[in-house]
Amino acid sequence: MCSEHKMRMAEKQAAGLKNFYAAGTEMLTVDKKDKARLMELAAKYRLSPERLTVARRFARRYSEAEFAELISLRKPDGNLLHVGYVLFLLALNWQTKGEKQVRSALQREAAENGWTAPELRAVITQRYSKKASPCGRNHRELPLGVLIENAHSVVCNLLARLQCSDRIDLRSVPRLKDLQSEIWALDGVIPGEKKAA
């Protein structure tokens, strides 16, 4: 049952990553000033306008072949490098062929070593600190969407572990699923955080 759950989790992550890339690809054809079209795409892909901007950057920096390579990578636990990883992979420009080869090797290393998204961020910061910081900002100033994605990733991993454990009272799982829903509901609602228009 546990391996079946892991397969479903990996399929869900792949679907989320494909949705994110498809949104970005479609965003490449949209004028940034066309608010009506942006809202339409936000509803279609179930992403905030801020996340659509990140998706656009993702589609611009990853060709279809590069995306296919990314989505084919699996960590030892069977999970893939989901959207939370992409946010940190986009912290560096990766424009030249050589830079893209470095990015490809870094992605493979992250998958082979089973790094979490924060571990990938730490490696990027350590190796390329002069070239990048996460999302070009101090970690305390990460966009709300990035913080939500990180919190969502932690809850997803915790849910997967709890559902595979025979030592856990499964009555706690629905509460975690409620927490997961609350995390996503935070998008644009936290006081003091600007909601992208």
Determine contact, residues 159/173, Cβ cutoff 8 Å. Answer: yes
Residue 195: inside a domain: no
Average pLDDT over residues 28-48: 88
Is 93 domain-assigned?
yes
Q: pLDDT at position 83, please?
A: 87
Question: What burial letters (b/e) apply to 107-130, b meaning 16+ CB within 10 Å?
Answer: beebbeeebbbbebbebbeeeeee
Note whether residue 149 is domain-resident: yes
**Domain annotation covers residue 196:** no
Does the residue 197 lie in any domain? no
Residue 49 included in any domain? yes
Phi/psi at 95 (5° precision)? -95, -40
Work out the percent of the chain whose per-residue pLDDT is above 70: 64
- Asked if residue 191 is part of any domain, the answer here is no
Sorting pLDDT into bands at 50, 70 and 90, what band is 160?
A: low
What is the model's pTM?
A: 0.62
Given pLDDT bands bounded at 50, 70 and 90, which one contains residue 194?
Answer: very low
- On whether residue 56 sits in a domain, the answer given is yes
Structure confidence by residue, pLDDT tens digits, 112-125:
999 998 999 888 88
Tally Cβ neighbours within 10 Å of residue 174.
Answer: 9
> Which residue did the predictor score with more confidence, 140 or 111?
111
Residue numbers of the domain that contains 104 = 2-185
Name the one residue in this structure whose structure tokens are 């069977």. 78
Tokens of 160: 């997967």
Number of domains in the chain: 1
